[in-house]
Amino acid sequence: MSRTPRYFLQSYGCQMNKLDSELVESRLVASGYERAGSEQDADVVLLNTCSVRQHAEDRVWSRLGVLRQEKRQRPELVVGVLGCMAQEHRRYLQARMPHVDLVVGPSAFGDIDQQVERARSEAAARRVAHEEAVQKDPRATPGGAGIVTVDHGVSGDTIHRDVRVRPHRSQAYVSVMRGCNMPCAYCIVPTTRGAEISRPIAQIVEEAQRLCDDGVTEITLLGQTVNAYGRDLGRDVTLARLLRALHEIPSLRRLAFITSHPNFLNRELVDALAGLDKVSRFLHLPAQSGSNRVLKAMRRGYTFERYVARIELLREAAPDYELHSDWIVGFPGETEEDFAKTIELMEAVRFAQSYVFKYSPRPGTLAAEQGVDDVPDDVKAERNRILLEVQERHTAEKNQALVGQVEEVLVEGPSKVEGRYSGRTRQHRIVHFAADDPALIGRYVPVRIDEALGHSLVGVRLAENAAEDGARARTEVRA
Ligand code: SAH
Ligand code: SF4
Ligand code: F3S
């Protein structure tokens, strides 16, 4: 009897890809596959890929080189490229990477199990063909099944999700929309993910309810411009309404959403954020740059002043929200003055966390076609370093201000340091504390913050009633 087929799936890129990978896994498990411990142990190797920067793609190209070698030893191995690079490079993959069996774009995952099955059924025949080919040319590479599904497959969102297959028992992602309709000049995502499609509120609530019935207490909603949710479904379908609907699920305790676009942070949303206490107290609102000239060339649709005004709107209504941002340094034509404005914006807002990226031209985007990648790499690296330094100072100051406070921490698991567990606060900060009890995972525990590290906090777990009354005498809980 043949053994249970095993898959090895690796995800690159954003949270959407992580969620897509979970959906792919759930389909494969439902079809009788099991996860392999390593690539060598797998019958099927799937790479769920990202195109957002050249570096992300380079990692996958080199993996595919290694897999080509592997396939010479094991011609029956099935290799699949999924996600954004499948969409972006389908022709190249087909023409130049014959050892790739499957090329599946991000809107065609729904029947991935059947696609994998088809590829595997050809594997046995391929071994025979390869043995013949090697007689003639010892360096022959075995061909793939050549299955390419990109634009018109079955989307992962449209299938009934098996909520039991997920990496964390108490935390889950839920996709609320696919694609992106924004015109950002540097970005490949609208090409790889296609146009915006929102899922109806009822469908999202139903999925969230099933997750919560299965033990989830924290849900993170995903969309490339999540706060533009619903605009394709009619005027009254908005993120604010969706948040209110999800808030009604009794066992749900935390509700987050990423990523927001500054243009859609309006009064209605701000009021919802202020009024809904289950919503996590952070907003990921990428600014990208502080220079109005660069923002215009990026086609972001706002200015430094308008961005700050939106933040003020939020902070007036809900001062406890922390802000997170993404930044691109070295966009075509970015001068020292432009960069100084970026630092100024960072100083003005004081974010809790930032991701900084060096501009990477993406073929086919406006910035790559019309602009010149004229900021030298060492200048990009230097601006990157400076921005991170400013951010680290703000993070450290904000973390320091929390020393002595009690935070509610959702426990995620053992931390890298032995004898400690870690989890996240409502503002998404990582907290480590002494513990040695797997039963804590998924629980909400009060932790008194004793120390601020660069990117995280260290504290002591308190008895469970302490978070409700910070002033009361607190009992420390030893590991
Ligand atoms: N939809 C989200 C995230 C998009 S990709 C948003 O609009 O915010 C995540 C981040 O990658 C972006 O916020 C941007 O900072 C960065 N990014 C996108 N394209 C890039 C490029 N060509 N070069 C460098 N960074 C890029
Ligand atoms: Fe890319 Fe802009 Fe869409 Fe974000 S909003 S995914 S940066 S095009
Ligand atoms: Fe990358 Fe595609 Fe996400 S390009 S960032 S995996 S949408």
**Which pLDDT value is given to residue 344?**
98
Selection from 21, 137, 29 nearest residue 83 by Cα: 21
**Which pLDDT value is given to residue 128?**
72
Structural contact between residues 130 and 118, judged by C-beta atoms closer than 8 angstroms: no
**Which pLDDT value is given to residue 122?**
80
Our count of domains for the chain comes to 3
Amino acid letter for position 23: L
Instruction: Report which protein residue has its CA nearest ligand 3's atom 6.
Output: 50
- Tokens 């790559």 belong to residue: 368
**β-bridge partners, 323:** 283
Selection from 437, 408, 406, 405 nearest residue 421 by Cα: 437
Phi, psi (5° rounding) for residue 222? -120, 135
**Which pLDDT value is given to residue 314?**
97
Ligand nearest to the CA of 180: 2
Strand ranges across the sheet with 254-258: 171-175, 218-222, 254-258
**Which pLDDT value is given to residue 473?**
46
Structural contact between residues 186 and 359, judged by C-beta atoms closer than 8 angstroms: yes
Within 8 A by CB and 6+ apart from 271, the residues are 240, 317
Compute the distance from residue 187 Cα to the ligand 1 centre, in Å.
6
Q: Is 310 within the bounds of a domain? A: yes
Structural contact between residues 298 and 286, judged by C-beta atoms closer than 8 angstroms: no
Domain residues for the domain of 116 are: 6-149
For residues 133 and 179, membership in a common domain is answered with no
Structural contact between residues 284 and 321, judged by C-beta atoms closer than 8 angstroms: no
Return the exposure string of 163-198: e unless at least 16 CB atoms fall within 10 Å of the residue's CB, then b: beebeeebbbbbbbbbbbebebbbbbbbbbbbebbb
Q: Is 475 within the bounds of a domain? A: no
Q: Is 275 within the bounds of a domain? A: yes
Instruction: Report which protein residue has its CA nearest ligand 2's atom 1.
Output: 187
The first and second tokens of residue 179, run together, are 């694609």
CATH assignment of the domain containing 14: 3.40.50.12160
For residues 358 and 266, membership in a common domain is answered with yes
For residues 277 and 218, membership in a common domain is answered with yes
**Which pLDDT value is given to residue 466?**
52
Structural contact between residues 62 and 68, judged by C-beta atoms closer than 8 angstroms: no
Selection from 427, 297, 450, 433 nearest residue 352 by Cα: 427
Compute the distance from residue 14 Cα to the ligand 3 centre, in Å.
5
Q: Is 473 within the bounds of a domain? A: no
Helix (H, G, I), strand (E, B) or coil at 132: helix
Rounded distance, CA 226 to CA 203, Å? 16
- As a whole number of Å, the end-to-end CA separation of the chain is 48
Residue 358 CA, closest ligand 1 atom number: 24
For residue range 331-374, what is the model confidence (pLDDT) as tens digits?
999 999 999 999 999 999 999 999 999 999 999 999 999 999 99
For residues 57 and 206, membership in a common domain is answered with no
Residue from 187, 283, 354 whose mutation best tests the ligand 1 pocket (most atoms within 8 A of CB)? 187
**Which pLDDT value is given to residue 22?**
92
Last residue of a domain, one of 373, 400, 427: 400
Question: Computed from CA positions of residues 414, 415, 416, 417, in that sequence, does the dihedral angle turn out positive or negative?
Answer: negative
Which residue positions in the chain have pLDDT lower than 50? 469-473
Number of residues written out for the chain: 479
Helix (H, G, I), strand (E, B) or coil at 77: coil
CATH assignment of the domain containing 216: 3.80.30.20
**Which pLDDT value is given to residue 159?**
67
For residues 236 and 166, membership in a common domain is answered with yes
Return the exposure string of 375-406: e unless at least 16 CB atoms fall within 10 Å of the residue's CB, then b: beeebbeebbebbbebbeebbeebbeebeeeb
For residues 176 and 322, membership in a common domain is answered with yes
Q: Is 80 within the bounds of a domain? A: yes
For residues 292 and 326, membership in a common domain is answered with yes
For residues 323 and 257, membership in a common domain is answered with yes
Residues with CB under 6 A from ligand 3: 13-14, 16-17, 50-52, 83-84, 188-189, 192-193
CATH assignment of the domain containing 419: 2.40.50.140
The first and second tokens of residue 462, run together, are 């308190």
Last residue of a domain, one of 342, 365, 400: 400
**Which pLDDT value is given to residue 160?**
73
Question: Computed from CA positions of residues 75, 79, 85, 86, in that sequence, does the dihedral angle turn out positive or negative?
Answer: positive
Compute the distance from residue 233 Cα to the ligand 1 centre, in Å.
26
For residues 46 and 93, membership in a common domain is answered with yes
pTM of the model: 0.93
For residues 52 and 164, membership in a common domain is answered with no
**Which pLDDT value is given to residue 457?**
97
Residues with CB under 6 A from ligand 1: 52-53, 186-187, 189, 224-225, 259, 261, 286, 288, 326, 328, 357, 359-360, 362
Cβ burial, residue 91 (10 Å; 0-12/13-18/19+) = exposed
Rounded distance, CA 149 to CA 241, Å? 35
**Which pLDDT value is given to residue 48?**
97
Residue 51 CA, closest ligand 3 atom number: 4
Amino acid letter for position 446: P
Last residue of a domain, one of 348, 380, 400: 400
Structural contact between residues 251 and 217, judged by C-beta atoms closer than 8 angstroms: yes
Residue 16 CA, closest ligand 3 atom number: 3
Residue from 16, 178, 258, 259 whose mutation best tests the ligand 3 pocket (most atoms within 8 A of CB)? 16
For residues 166 and 134, membership in a common domain is answered with no
- Bridge pairing between strands 177-178 and 444-452: unpaired
Residue 52 CA, closest ligand 1 atom number: 19
For residues 183 and 115, membership in a common domain is answered with no
Q: Is 34 within the bounds of a domain? A: yes
Q: Is 43 within the bounds of a domain? A: yes
Q: Is 479 within the bounds of a domain? A: no
- Enumerate helices (H) and strands (E) in the chain, giving the number of each: 15, 19
For residue range 283-325, what is the model confidence (pLDDT) as tens digits?
999 999 999 999 999 999 999 999 999 999 999 999 999 999 9
**Which pLDDT value is given to residue 64?**
96
Compute the distance from residue 356 Cα to the ligand 1 centre, in Å.
10
